[in-house]
Structure 1
Amino acid sequence: MDRQLSARELGRQAIINTVPKSEWQQNWQFSRALIEEINNHRIMSHPIMQALNGGQLSFEQMRVVHLEFFHAFAQVFTDAVIQAMFTASQLESRLGPAAKPSARFLLQFNLLEELGFKPGFGSDGSYEGNPNGAHYAQFCDTLAKLHVDPKKINQYVPMASSLACRATFESCYGDHLLMTTLLAVSETVFHDYAGIWATGVAQSTDIDVTKGYHSIHVEDETGVSIEDGHSEDAWILFSQAVTSDRYDAVKHHIYVWLNTWTAFLDDLLAGRFLQNQPQAA
């Protein structure tokens, strides 16, 4: 008997079915080429990885790294997923009525996890989860453990490169292709940083990284992380959204994003956040 497909697999297949076969194959090959280019970019071998993995950052430095990341990425990432849910309506005129719900169905897996839901059903027959388990809430909880309260978060003045990272997300609002591209690229990059960052936090602070934010994205004992599923989902969504006439524009945007994020890491490694550090104490 054939294995029954999971809801996630059904969602992926539904998306594939909305795109003409030859077009899908071309787009999927393009996405594989983009992943290879991303993996060859400097960001994937940035020297900050060694600094994090080697426990070279102090508690104070790690605290400010989290504050910068909050303003650069954490505060807007879930917003970006919700934006992609909304902009999926742009698919319908080109690919038909099935394209919109299929894209939203797959995006919902990412969004539910971002918001603190878990697989399974609770005692009342509804979804399991807790809003305190939302990735954003967990990140704010990590900041609290680093002695940063909400008032200090709002008073903190991030680096220019942090605001530039934030702008890579906010500038894509309203464009479904760019939103799905950005989600795919960011999931691919963050996959390689999550475990290393967790290691650095464990070495520089007294935070238990086996739970909370820094346990969410790292690989489990089977070598799989939540980022693996999110990344694959995002590239499938991208392959549905992209058209050959926008290939060059997509590549341009990806290089701009990667270079912007790399400049952010350069600034962190160079300690350019130190001028803001007193505001975080």
Structure 2
Amino acid sequence: MSTLSFTQSKNARLEALSFIKKSIPSTLWNKHVHEVQQLKQTCLQHPLFQHPILTRLNTQTLSLEQLKFIHLNYFTAIVKTFTDALSMVIYQALQLENHENIHEVDRVHAKAHARYLLSLNLIDELGFNTYELSLSSPAKSHLIYFIDLLRLLQVDPLDQKAVVTEAYDLNQFNQPHLPSYDSLLLILACAELQVIKYSEALRINLKKYDVQFTHGYYACHGVVDHSKKLANDDNHEDDIWALFTQSYMHIQRPAYEQLIEQYLQLWQNFWSKMDNPTA
């Protein structure tokens, strides 16, 4: 018997992913797959994913005070705004109704299929237990789990005095991109890559001080591993890249590359500041 929850299961997304692939001409899909994979590789090759702080986190080198500082700033940088962007991209899927890539007969359906996949991500974020819906609660949303973690760390989530410019820069980055379905997909895909890489490292370092710190928020972040945890970031990331492949426009390639570089550089700046707060 599978230990996967509904949103972790391939069966939950197979129909939607199959439709997305067939909704545009196969030659276009194959071309887009190649170009989108290149963009993803550009992301993964960014210095952000080899930042020295990752080694320090994975070897449990950072002090508890440093981890408190990081978590307060991470809250502002991404945790508070992630579902804002996710909710907005669900709305902006309406742009698929007039998207030239998509077969005309499939355009309205495309909006529904995109919203279905993105909503799998959102319901995970909002605290739905997709093993057993009766156990769902907004108190189990990732946002509130993170606030609970801050309080467990004895950090006031409302205390903004220690929040650095680099965190605010990330907090505000999405604002001009909210009208763009493609831009939001690309930002969210990059954000998921960052979350997968850094959440595990943060969890490892926190565990040194108290295993209780790794419950809640960190129990629902990471990759699917058949462990009864609700971690599902890799599936959500894959779904976002698939949707981006559907709506990808070759003529926009330079703009996509610029967006990736700008966003990941802000994360690079953020983690450099977390690594050396006095710099």
1:62 to 57, 63, 67: 67
CA distance in 2: counterparts of 1:207 and 1:60, whole angstroms: 16
State the partner residue of 2:81. Answer: 76
**Contact 2:60/2:205 (CA < 8 Å) preserved in 1?**
yes
CA distance in 2: counterparts of 1:9 and 1:175, whole angstroms: 26
Q: CA deviation at 1:170?
A: 2.5
Q: CA deviation at 1:7?
A: 2.5
2:156 to 149, 157, 166: 149
Cα deviation code 1:34-66 (max 9, x no counterpart): 121222111111000011112222221111100
**Contact 1:85/1:104 (CA < 8 Å) preserved in 2?**
yes
**Contact 1:28/1:239 (CA < 8 Å) preserved in 2?**
yes
- The SS at the match of 2:15 is helix
Instruction: Determine whether 1:111 maps to 2:122.
Output: yes
2:212 to 197, 208, 215: 208
CA distance in 2: counterparts of 1:11 and 1:177, whole angstroms: 18
State the partner residue of 1:252. Answer: 258
Q: CA deviation at 1:154?
A: 4.5
**Contact 2:69/2:162 (CA < 8 Å) preserved in 1?**
no
State the partner residue of 1:37. Answer: 42
Length-normalised TM-score, structure 1? 0.87
**Contact 2:224/2:234 (CA < 8 Å) preserved in 1?**
no
1:230 to 225, 231, 236: 236
1:140 to 122, 135, 147: 147
1:242 to 211, 227, 248: 248
CA distance in 1: counterparts of 2:88 and 2:41, whole angstroms: 27
Q: CA deviation at 1:188?
A: 1.8
**Contact 2:97/2:108 (CA < 8 Å) preserved in 1?**
yes
Which aligned segments of 4 or more residues in structure 1 are displaced greater than 4 angstroms?
Answer: 120-123, 219-225
Q: CA deviation at 1:241?
A: 2.1
Amino acid at match of 1:65: I
State the partner residue of 1:97. Answer: 108
**Contact 2:206/2:214 (CA < 8 Å) preserved in 1?**
no
**Contact 1:195/1:219 (CA < 8 Å) preserved in 2?**
no
**Contact 1:18/1:98 (CA < 8 Å) preserved in 2?**
no
**Contact 1:183/1:234 (CA < 8 Å) preserved in 2?**
yes
Amino acid at match of 2:241: W
Amino acid at match of 2:271: L
State the partner residue of 2:189. Answer: 184
1:130 to 137, 141, 149: 137
CA distance in 1: counterparts of 2:174 and 2:278, whole angstroms: 22
CA distance in 1: counterparts of 2:60 and 2:214, whole angstroms: 17
**Contact 1:106/1:233 (CA < 8 Å) preserved in 2?**
yes
- The SS at the match of 1:118 is coil
Amino acid at match of 2:110: A
Cα deviation code 1:177-200 (max 9, x no counterpart): 000011111112221222111001
**Contact 2:152/2:213 (CA < 8 Å) preserved in 1?**
no
1:21 to 5, 22, 26: 26
Q: CA deviation at 1:202?
A: 1.2
Amino acid at match of 2:265: N
Amino acid at match of 1:97: V
**CA distance change for structure 1 residues 49 and 16 in 2, over 3 Å: closer, same or farther?**
same
RMSD: 2.1
Gaps of 5+ in 1: 274-281
CA distance in 1: counterparts of 2:12 and 2:78, whole angstroms: 29
Length-normalised TM-score, structure 2? 0.87
**Contact 2:96/2:111 (CA < 8 Å) preserved in 1?**
yes
**Contact 1:117/1:133 (CA < 8 Å) preserved in 2?**
yes
